[in-house]
Amino acid sequence: MDMDTISAAAAGTHDLGDGLVVNRLGYGAMRITGKSVWGPPENPDHAIRVLQRAAELGVNFIDTADSYGPSVSEELIAEALEGYADVVVATKGGLRRPTAPEWTNDARPEHLRVALEGSLKRLRVERIDLYQLHAPDPQVPYAESIGALKEFQDEGKIRLIGVSNVDLDELEIARGIVDVVSVQNRFNLVDRSSEDVLARCEELGIAFLPWFPLDTGRLARQGTGRPETALGEIAKRHETTPAQIALAWLLALSPAMLPIPGTATLAHLDENVAAASIELSGEEVARLTEVGR
């Protein structure tokens, strides 16, 4: 496949709402930070080039969070994509990073306001295209956290609202308060725990952003004669990598799916975007769906 002509647009588009139409293969900007998603990357110039290359390949949806770095991912995005007006940047608030290994919930309205203001400043914008509550906070009523986002939206600081790491009940609570346009939950070939949420997103026309989309676990093992080698066999048939087939499967599985694979290297970025052009047969999709359960 010619890496100069690949495009994320091959996967089709999704209308988020309010005129924001994005290509269905996005980019997750967590890995452009330092080790353990902490501090700056070893080579900031390369990280900036990865972001710019993504835009050049037709990736016009980039997902990040204030906790990635913390702050580093948003700062790099602002620097890299200045002048790329057609790229939709989605960010998240609701998690703190006290130290490198820690991720702690904080979805109190007062913290969310500070988080949002920080994201606006770092991204150098007056309004966030898509702002997502990173996770429910067990110490805060979920409706209270979502209500804060509604307040920020009414103030003109958020264009569209999404939620992340939610179950069906939490999604419905959020929908009772705001117009939810996206859900970001963990989902991949070996983790289908959010199938019910995905199905609800399909019903509602809401974008489903699977995080950790490239996890393939045992399915990538090489060999013959065992069901868990299906991914490797199909990848060989298409002359691609198992990771590319995993992305192609997500795109084929549901029209609501908007994968956001992340990488810190140009080579892997090109491979990920090339997955948008892979056409799996109905039999291949069904086989992968079955063996991954």
Contacts 24+ apart (CB under 8 A), 137-141: 137/94, 137/105, 137/106, 137/107, 137/108, 138/105, 139/105, 139/108, 140/107, 140/108
Domain parsing of the chain, residue ranges:
8-291
The active-site residue, picked from 27, 68, 131, 142, is: 68
pLDDT band at 218 (very low <50, low <70, confident <90, very high): low
pLDDT digits (tens, 9 = 90+) for 32-79: 999 999 999 999 999 999 999 999 999 999 999 999 999 999 999 999
Longest pairwise C-alpha distance within the chain:
59
pLDDT band at 3 (very low <50, low <70, confident <90, very high): low
CATH class of 8-291: alpha beta
pTM of the predicted model as reported, rounded to 2 decimal places? 0.94
Rounded distance between C-alpha atoms, residue 170 and residue 175, angstroms: 9
Helix, strand, or coil (residue 63)? strand
Question: Is 27 designated active site?
Answer: no
End-to-end CA distance of the chain: give it in Å, rounded: 31
